[in-house]
Structure 1
Amino acid sequence: MQSIKWRKRRTFQEATNIQIEEVEEKLKIKFPTDYKEFIKDHNGCSPIDKKVVLFQDSRESINNLLSIGDPTRPIDLLSTIDNVKDRLVDKIIPFATDAGGNLFCFDYRMSAQEPVIVFWDHEIAYEDKESSISYVCDSFTELINKLYEG
């Protein structure tokens, strides 16, 4: 995985294995191993030097990773799902935000073990949930490796 500088907030807390497992159990999914290892040290962090990713005809940025184990934070993964559940397609699980309220997500619709990465556009989701989803890449590691300065 490429080296990226990440900003940790004052309230940073590492995500523990127990917290990750509790979220997986609640959502009835298993996060990819690369993501689980990464989120432990980068829980709720923001990329500093490389944050833009190109896919299809879009250029989007990762604002921050959603946090696990701290429901009081506005970027908590479970709270985020709860806030948008009426517009999210089943088996789409967010893990990061962009600056405009859109989400990078794991897509478990085709595989419970190897979800692909998709981008969820919150504005399109009001009109058509399915059209709000765009394929980005095949894995979390591939997403991180695609990030660049922008």
Structure 2
Amino acid sequence: MMDIRWENYVWKEPRPVASAEVERLEAMWQVSLPGEFKRVVAAHQGMAPEPCLFKVGRGANVFSVLLTVTRDADRASYSILDSYNLIRSHVPSGIYPFGKTPGGEYLCFDYRDSAQQPRIVLVTVEMSVLPVANSFQELLEGLHDD
């Protein structure tokens, strides 16, 4: 597995997330977020992974930023909740965003098949839902450079 470096993106410095903020998100969505995601977002919300390419369909896309659990009014477009509110009426219920691509597409958890083990999907700008990985861990392990 490649080591992922997380680089500042939304803010100039890391902003760790309090576990209570993540728990509030889980309560709101009535899901149990993957442990690996909770570990990563706690330390790296609003940051960009390097390497950042992931496979989708026959091509690749870029995981440009991990959305923020902490809401910053000046950076609302990077907020998990703002992103969710933007797409929720256009996608099936059980799909929750956690990452964004440069083209404004969203990497999301897909809880439609399992409340415990969400798959990872990409929600396109046309609001199509495309499969990406079987788990958050698999997504991270699959990140690569060209």
TM-score (normalizing by structure 2): 0.90
1:136 equivalent in alignment to 2:132 = yes
Cα displacement string for residues 19-70 of structure 1 (whole angstroms, at most 9, x for unaligned residues): 00011111111101111111111111112x3111113213111010001022
Once residues 108 and 66 of structure 1 are traced to their aligned partners in structure 2, the CA distance between those partners, rounded to angstroms, is 18
8 Å CA contact 1:71–1:79 kept in 2: the answer is no
Gapped regions of structure 2 (runs ≥ 5):
none
1:59 equivalent in alignment to 2:55 = no
Once residues 7 and 23 of structure 1 are traced to their aligned partners in structure 2, the CA distance between those partners, rounded to angstroms, is 24
Query: Aligned residues: percent identity?
Result: 27
Paired residues, what number? 142
8 Å CA contact 1:118–1:136 kept in 2: the answer is yes
Gapped regions of structure 1 (runs ≥ 5):
126-131
The answer for the alignment partner of 1:2 in structure 2 is: 2
The list of structure 1 runs, each at least 4 consecutive aligned residues, that deviate by more than 4 angstroms after superposition, is none
8 Å CA contact 1:53–1:147 kept in 2: the answer is yes
Q: Which segment drifts farther, 79-88 or 16-25?
A: 79-88
> Any residues of structure 2 matched to 1:84-123 within 5 Å, and which?
84-123=87-126
> Any residues of structure 2 matched to 1:39-58 within 5 Å, and which?
39-47=41-49, 49-58=50-59
Deviation at 1:85, TM superposition (A): 2.1
8 Å CA contact 1:63–1:99 kept in 2: the answer is yes
**Which amino acid is 1:136 matched to?**
V
Query: Superposition RMSD on alpha carbons, in Å?
Result: 1.4
The answer for the alignment partner of 1:38 in structure 2 is: 40
**Which amino acid is 1:29 matched to?**
V
